[in-house]
């Protein structure tokens, strides 16, 4: 019984302290046009490059910038082309956000130091 309890505790702690990169959650947030959810996976502040406009924003400002982007580019499909691994020195991912009228490139750069939070999002044509 003690062994079962030990393994249960180990699994429970692993779930709370998991450092997995949140790729699925971010993809879902992009497809649902949920700016707040995307930004919740970011450092504070975060560097955003959207349609060649660059800025460093706190979470509230970044959510507003991303909400405006989603208003201009609604209902897109989000598909990863490359997903970096936690073991990499520079962790980033490359994806496509595809709407009815255009395809945009999305690059997410993750911090190695802050629980794999995003420190930069680039969205370009």
For the ranges 5-9, 10-14, 82-86, the maximum mean pLDDT occurs at 82-86
- Taking the mean position of all CA atoms in its chain, how far away is CA 24? 9
Of 12-21, 74-83, 95-104, the one with minimum mean pLDDT is 12-21
- Report how far residue 82's alpha carbon sits from residue 79's, in angstroms, rounded to the nearest whole number: 9
What distance in Å separates the CA atoms of residue 16 and residue 78, rounded to the nearest whole number? 27
Answer yes or no: pTM beyond 0.85.
Answer: no
Architecture of domain 20-124: Roll (3.10)
More confident residue, 102 or 14: 102
Compute the 3-state secondary structure of the chain and give helix, strand, coil in percent, each to the nearest 5: 35, 35, 30
Please give the helix or strand (H or E) that residue 80 lies within, else none: strand 77-83
Find out whether 117 and 42 touch, Cβ atoms under 8 Å: yes
Using pLDDT thresholds of 50, 70 and 90, give the confidence band for residue 8: very low
Does 103 have pLDDT greater than 60?
Answer: yes
């Amino acid at each position: 019984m003690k062994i079962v309890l030990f393994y249960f505790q180990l699994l429970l702690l692993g779930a709370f302290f998991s450092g997995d990169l949140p790729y699925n959650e971010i993809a879902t947030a992009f497809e649902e046009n949920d700016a707040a959810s995307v930004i919740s996976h970011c450092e504070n502040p975060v560097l955003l490059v959207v349609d060649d406009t660059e800025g460093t924003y706190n979470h509230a400002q970044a959510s507003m910038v991303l909400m405006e982007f989603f208003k201009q580019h609604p209902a897109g499909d989000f598909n990863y082309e490359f997903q970096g691994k936690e073991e990499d020195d520079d962790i980033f991912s490359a994806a496509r956000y595809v709407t009815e009228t255009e395809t945009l490139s999305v690059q997410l750069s993750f911090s190695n130091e802050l629980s794999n939070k995003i420190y930069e999002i680039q969205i370009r044509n």
